[in-house]
Amino acid sequence: RLIVERSNPTLLAKVKATEAGYRAIPLDDRLLFEIELVPDEQFRDLNVAVNKLIHLEMVRFPLGSHLPKGKIAQVLGDDAESTADVDLVCCKHNLPRKFSNQVLAAANSLPKAVRKVDLKKRLDLRQVETVLIGDSSAISLEKSDAGWELGVHIPDFAAYIAVGSILDETARMRVRTSFLLDDTVIPMLPEIGVLQQPEHLTMSVLFKLDSNGILTEFEIYPAVITTSVNIGSFTEAQEILDGRSEKGATKANHSEIAALLANIAELGALLQQQRQGAFHITLPSAAMQEADEGILGVPIVPENALIYGMVSELEILANRAIATHLVALGVPALFRTQPAPELTKVTDWLKLLNSMGVSLALAEADRVQSQDFQNFLEQVKQVEPQSSRDILKYLLMSLLKIGEYSLQPGAHFGLALAPESPYMHAIAPQHRYVDLLSQRLLHLVFQEGRDRRNTRSKESVDLHNSSCHGQISWSVLPPERERQVISELELILPKLNQQDTLVHKAKTDLDGLRKAEFMQARTGQNFFGIITGVQSYGFFVEIESLLVEGLVHVSSLKDDWYEFPQVNGRTKGGRAQTVLVGRRSDRQYSLGDRIEVQVKSVDYYRQQIDLVALASIDAVANLGPNEQVDLPGELDLDLPDE
């Protein structure tokens, strides 16, 4: 067998000096070898890295009896805890944050403003009032008695990023942007200045909808717009909508902006209702993702920016329209799908919900549907207090599988879309390479697509308009171009899915590090939480209001010997247990119980938070001299990784 690519081209390691030279010890416990460090131009004196944490690049992997070799890419700090969390995550997952001078020069060489030559064969929409919120597409919206006229104006990156250029190769390598923090982004491309200007080129999707928000017609055009209103963030937009701020006014006055935002919210709600089973997950604080459903497949909406969910619905509509259009034209493309969550995990979540007093079940016992999640979120509203509701929603969100890209349309769980309702990513070409590909496909259709069967045919169709759907019985793209497109899509597809998985892991990792850091500073403090999982080795507690999970190990319950319920000396039942019971006292720790815990210890890098139950501490304190429980020492159990 031939090794084509290694999974760990870089890693985090601690450096030590030995008689044989300098060695790097990987932080990853699974890598059971030392790495011989070799100097390079940047780090000729390896002694500066001794006892430091480094980001290491592999030069040679283990070969027979020879040690692997590596070189220092970056010295991070004394240890993981003294290193910035973003640095730690980016190095651990090898996420590039900087661009070469050549890439920056290429971006800087692009036009600084729209030129006359750029306007050829473009729809001029510069007189249309548009609003830009944060990093979303610009939106235009007019409401009348007849219905709605909506425009989603996607920045036209394909007009500036030439295929095969250094900017294209850079974007292709990185594949997507990872939003790690509200104010820290791992960019796919350097800033393209011309697309940051009020006047800029777009790929505009123009919709006509009736008064109920039912789509009647749409068209897609390369266009040029001038942004009328630029609102810095969705939080600011929500404040304007709620009448709590007058920021964001440029050309329009505050009341007009608020009216436009109200219309966006109204139409967004209508669009969500049309997708039976569609749901949003609203949390007290949620990191902003792409303006559509993002990597988790469903809008995760911050409570202080509900307008974000409504704008997402407009962006999702644009993605659906572009996917539907390309399918109707028979043009190969990459579609976004999402599988349903695992049945067993959803069943476990339902056990937790039922233990908290809300009786609920799946509509069909053997499968999970989008409508189930919609119903769950509605029923969770009954749970008190608010902190318990947040825990349930957070855990429900964790059940979602990340979406996948495919050459064929398929079902999308989070958006409640059936396979016959194609969906793709197209509204964020500045953040996702697949969106840039989708934009290029539209340009290809409009530039080279055949609008009639052959040159002798008098009847033609409008390839820009949805009216052509069902009217085309020929190949829109020339056969050779179509084969070329399919080949390119097949080549890039595996990397797109791999990178999505990587980005999701990086986000999860950063979230875990931040929670571990937060709790490390609170070692010894007491908190209330909900028991969210029970295992033979202990139980997991989600701390209220913090949405932080820790483990109460059975070895810390020193007032009794705790185990699953026993019948005739054997564990009761063959299915997963939901309670640990003390042999002597019959004290129970059950799924859904609200208990008080103390933070015992925190392993920052491994993101493990150990808790102790206050009830057990109090019980031990009250034991008489003849009541001491004969417990084993600390159990050395191989706990599963989160």
Q: What pTM, to 2 d.p., does this model score?
A: 0.91
Identity at 580, one-letter amino acid code: L
The vertex-299 CA angle with 130 and 528, nearest 5°, equals 130
- pLDDT tens digits for range 236-262: 999 999 988 755 444 446 788 999 999
Question: 515-536: per-residue pLDDT in tens?
Answer: 999 999 999 999 999 999 999 9
Domains of the chain: 10-83 (2.40.50.700), 102-339+401-512 (no CATH), 521-621 (2.40.50.140)
Q: Write the pLDDT tens digit of every residue in 193-218.
A: 999 999 999 999 999 999 999 999 99
CB-based contact 57:10 (threshold 8 Å): yes
User: Cα 35 vs. chain centroid, distance in angstroms?
Assistant: 34
Do residues 250 and 317 lie in contact, with contact meaning Cβ atoms separated by under 8 Å? no
Question: Would the pLDDT of 607 be above 60?
Answer: yes
Residue 511: Cβ within 10 Å count:
17
Cα–Cα distance between 184 and 424 in angstroms, integer?
A: 26
Q: Once rounded to an integer, what is the mean pLDDT over residues 399-417?
A: 97
Interatomic CA distance for residues 427 and 136, integer angstroms: 8
Alpha carbons within 13 angstroms on the beta-carbon side of residue 439 total: 28
Q: Which residue in 18, 13, 8 sits closest to 56, CA to CA?
A: 13
Cβ atoms 125, 140 nearer than 8 A:
yes
**Type of residue at 95:** L
114 and 224 Cβ atoms separated by less than 8 Å: yes
C-alpha closest to that of 547 among 500, 515, 585, 589:
515
560 pLDDT exceeds 50? yes
Looking at every residue in the chain, the average pLDDT score rounds to 91
More confident residue, 571 or 169: 169
Residues 237 and 307 sit within 8 Å (Cβ to Cβ)? yes
